[in-house]
Structure 1
Amino acid sequence: MPVTGEFEPLEDLDAAADEYTRACAGADDPTQQRLRAEFVGVALPFARRLARRYRGRGEPAEDLEQVARLGLVKSVNRYDPERGSFTAYAIVTITGEIKRHFRNHGWGVHVPRRLQDLSLEVGQTRAALTAELSRRATDEEVAARLNIAVSDVREAEISGAAYSPGSLNAEADGYHGAEVGDLLGSDDPGLDLVDDRTSVERLICRLPERERRILALRFYGNRSQADIARELGVSQMHVSRLLARALTWLRQAMLSDNPPVWAGTDETDHRLTLATAYRGDVISTRVTGEVDRDNARYLRDELMAAVRDGARMRSLRVDLSGVPLLDAAGIGVLVAVHEAARVRGIEMRVTGLQAYVCRIVTASGLQDLVEP
C-alpha cells in the first residue's frame, strides 16, 4: 500500500509496520525520519494501553505513559521485519521498559535485583494459591510451587516491604499530633558519659604502670583484690591501699580543671633496701622492695656505686628475690648497670626473680641477664 503522508490510525500494528518498512526502503534520511515519527504517532495509543495495566502501583500514570512511549520508540528503532510480528516485539520491549522503571525508581529502599524479581514472583504465586485454596497460602506452599527454599520466600517478603516503606514523618495512629519517628528509639543513657569516659582514659594514662595495671585487673578484668595481690606478689592490704590512692586521685582530677600532680607512694609502703657484699671477685647485691619510678633512681645510684667500687671484681650478682614488682623504670636501671659493668669487664647476672618480675624481664629482652 503506497504511503501518501500521514498514517491513518490502524488497529493492526503489524500491517502498519509492514507499510512503514516498505515506505522506508530506498527513502532518504529526512523521509525516513518523517515516516518514523508518523509510525510512532500511530502506535502511541497501543503504548498508552500497556501503561494503563500498571496503574495503581505507586507510580504516577504520566510517568508510566512516558516510559511506555520510550519503549515504543526503542521497539520501532530496533524492529526487524524478518524476526516476526511487530506487535509481539513491541509488547516485550515496552513492558520491559516499564518493569525496569519500577526496579530503578519504584523501590523506596535499594534491594538487589534478584530479591526484587523474587518478591514479585512470590506475591503473584501467593495470590494465585490463595484463589485456588480459598485461604492464604503458607510459606511452605509458595516455596513448593516456586521450587525454592522457604527461607527465600520469607526473605523475598521482607524485601517486598522495602518497595514502599512507611514515612517516619507520618502521623502515628492513636497519638494526636505525634509522628511515627517520635515513638521510635529513646535517649541513650550512655551518651552523657562519653566525655567522662574520655577524661578518665586520659587521666589513667598519667598514672604509673603499677596503678594502671591494678585498675585494669580490678575493673576490666573483674579480679578480686586477693587475686591481684597474688599476681603481683604483694599483700591484699597493699593492693587495697594502692587502689584507694589511685581512685582518690582520679576523683580529684575529674573535679578539677588542672589535675593534681601524682604524689606517688609513701616511703613506708614502698621503701627499698639494698645489701651489698664483696666475696672474692664477686659483688652480691640483694634488693628488697618494689622497684618503680619513685625509687628506681636510688637503685641505679647504689648499683652504679658498687660497679665503680668493684673495679677489680669479675662478676656482679643482683638478687631480686625480694622484689615483687619491677616496672619500666626498674628495667631501665638493669640495662644501664649492665652496660656500665660490661665496659669495666664485669659480668652481670640477675637471680631469684619472682614470677611476675621474671615475665617483665623476659618480655623486655633481658633474659640473657637471668641466671638459670
Structure 2
Amino acid sequence: MSVVISSRPLSVDTAELGGLPEIRRPTAIAPRDARELSKLFFARLQELEEGTRAYQYARNTLIEMNMSMVRYVARRYRHRGDDMQDIVQVGTIGLIKAIDRFDLAREVEFSTFAVPYILGEMKRFFRDTGWAVHVPRRLQELRTELAKAKEQLHARLDRDPSVDELATHLHLPEEEVIEGLVAANGYAADSLDTPTNPDSLGPRRTLADVVGDDDPALATVEDLHTLAPLLRQLAPRERRIIELRFGREMTQSEIGAELGVSQMHVSRLLKSTLSTLRTGMLSDSEPEPDPGSATPTP
C-alpha cells in the first residue's frame, strides 16, 4: 500500500493522534488502500475524545478517504436526470452517519456497513424531491430506461434518437415510449416566472409569456364547420326561417309576415328545426353531403 503523506508539520499533535499520518490528499487514495487505512483511523477514532481537533482530523480523513464509495453508488443513478453533484452530497450524509455509527467490534467490512446508509439517503432524496406530478410506478421506471437508452443511442448515432429508434432499442411499442416521454415531463416543474432567455440582452421573457391559451374562436370555427352541412340538409322553408331569425335577426312575427304564416307556426317550425340541428351537432356520425352543394365537374 502506497500512501502520499505530507512532509509538512501536522495540524494536530502527533502524539495525540497515536502516530496517524497526515494524508495530503485523502480523496486520491485507492479504494483498496482506503479500506486498510480506515481500520487504522477507526481504531484511533474510538479512543479519541469527541470534539477535539484530533477527533475531527481522524473523522474528516475517514470521510474524504471513503468518498469513492459514495461516487460508486451514485453512478447507479446517473441515468435519472438528476444533478450528480446533488446525489453525491446526499450520499455523503449517509457516509457520515455510517462513520459515526461504525464499530470495529462488529467484525464486518466498513463498506458492507456503509453502503445501506448511503443508498438510504439517496432513495430518501429521490422520494422527497422527485416527481413534481404523481405518475404510475411503471412510468417512473420507464423514464429511467428511456434516459439510459437516449444516452446509449446518442453515443452511437451522434444525434438524439427518434421515437421508433427508442422503441426498437427497448423492444417496446411506440405508443408506450411516447407515454413514457410525456410522463417524464412530470418529473420536475418550472416556475412560470422562469426566464426563457436568461443570457439575452433583449427584453426579459418568462415561461408565462410563451405558454399558449385556449382560443374561443377555434371552438366557434369547429361549430360552424359542423353546422354548415346540417343547414344544407334542411328544407328550403326551414333554412329560410333560420336565415331570417339569426342572419337578419328578425322577430317571429316579422318572419311570419314575410312567409305568410302565423307567429305560432313560425315558433313551432323554429323549435323543430333547432332541435334537428342540435341533434346533428351532438351526433358522432358525419352528416351526409348535400348533393346540390357539390361542385360540378367541368
TM-score by length of 1: 0.36
Q: Which has the larger radius of gyration?
A: 1
- Higher fraction of strand: 1
